[in-house]
Amino acid sequence: MIWLLDLDNTLVGRAEAFEAWASGEVRRAGGGADDLAAVLAADESGHGSKAALARVLIDRLGWDDDVPAGIERFRAGILERVRPYDGVVDTLRALRAAGHPVAVVTNGASAQQRGKLARCGLDAHADAIVVSEEEGVAKPDPLLLEIALDRLGLPDADRRDVWMVGDAGHADVAAGHAAGTRTAWVSHGRSWDGPDRPDVVAPTTREAISLALSTPGAVRR
């Protein structure tokens, strides 16, 4: 099989890192639960506008930063705290040892996303890394997945042998469907409530990959 894996909230706990950082910032600013709730809502688990989030932080916490500086400030906070999910490194190591190509396919800024990969030691466990800012295209556009397959040297791979794994239905699952791959959704305990249900739904990345490996009809390498 060929694995195209999202980064934030799939391989690494980006939402957890942001909440830990934001909680500390709110406390230091003398803010309360309402301030933290507003900051987390603006973040949208990493999918919200970065400029809008910076403005909320500036307004709620009384920062002197302008918006670009505010963005860099919360990105640095995330980078300091981000960690890989339990079992992810071992899972990637096992996939590649079994001859399964692995690519990380992530939306985001190049320095930030590659910084997370390096900090978590995941860059050593991927055969290709594809970042939206570097390519000028982002999920759910399936072109980002096609770029990843090309980087793996497998542009003509049977799409039944390709899995797109991620936590964001609107980006990861949608991109996989558009590219004709199989899809695995990392639910983190949520329920799928949209159309075009993924092939696999599991609460963690490790479980999603395990289920995908055992899915009937999957083409094995």
| Same-domain status, 37 and 6 | no
Angle formed at CA 14 by CA 11 and CA 19, multiple of 5 degrees? 150
Is it the case that residue 194 has pLDDT exceeding 90? no
Is it the case that residue 221 has pLDDT exceeding 80? no
DSSP state, residue 44: G
Helix axes 33-43, 14-28, angle to 10 degrees: 150
Instruction: Express as a percent the part of the chain with pLDDT over 90.
Output: 95
| Same-domain status, 159 and 208 | yes
Q: Which of 53, 81, 109 is the last residue of a domain?
A: 81
Who contacts 207 (Cβ-Cβ below 8 Å, separation ≥6)? none
Q: Which of 29, 54, 81 is the last residue of a domain?
A: 81
Query: Among candidates 16, 39, 13, 15, which has minimal Cα distance to 27?
Result: 39
Q: pLDDT band for 215, please (50, 70, 90 cuts).
A: confident
User: What is the phi/psi pair of residue 114, to 5°?
Assistant: -70, -30
| 204 found inside a domain | yes
| Same-domain status, 6 and 22 | no
Angle formed at CA 164 by CA 162 and CA 165, multiple of 5 degrees? 130
Q: pLDDT band for 218, please (50, 70, 90 cuts).
A: very low
- Whole-model pTM? 0.94
Which residue type occupies 157? A
Pairwise CA distance, residues 148 & 145, whole Å: 5
Q: pLDDT band for 220, please (50, 70, 90 cuts).
A: very low
CB 172 within 8 A of CB 162: no
CB 52 within 8 A of CB 32: no
CB 82 within 8 A of CB 17: yes
- Kindly report the number of other CB atoms within 10 A of residue 206's CB atom: 16
CATH of the domain at 133: 3.40.50.1000
Mean pLDDT of 113-139: 98
Q: pLDDT band for 217, please (50, 70, 90 cuts).
A: low
Coil, strand or helix at 55 = helix
Q: pLDDT tens digits for 4-29?
A: 999 999 999 999 999 999 999 999 99
| 118 found inside a domain | yes
Q: pLDDT tens digits for 32-88?
A: 999 999 999 999 999 999 999 999 999 999 999 999 999 999 999 999 999 999 999
Average pLDDT, the chain: 96
- Kindly report the number of other CB atoms within 10 A of residue 108's CB atom: 20
Unique residue bearing structure tokens 């391989």: 11
Per the structure, how many domains does the chain have?
Answer: 2
Is it the case that residue 100 has pLDDT exceeding 80? yes
Is it the case that residue 183 has pLDDT exceeding 80? yes
| 219 found inside a domain | no
Is it the case that residue 145 has pLDDT exceeding 50? yes
Q: Taking the C-alpha atoms of 55, 58, 59 and 63 in order, what is their torsion angle to the nearest 10 degrees?
A: -170
Pairwise CA distance, residues 81 & 187, whole Å: 22
Residue range of the domain that includes 24: 14-81
Q: pLDDT band for 135, please (50, 70, 90 cuts).
A: very high
Strand partners, 166: 185
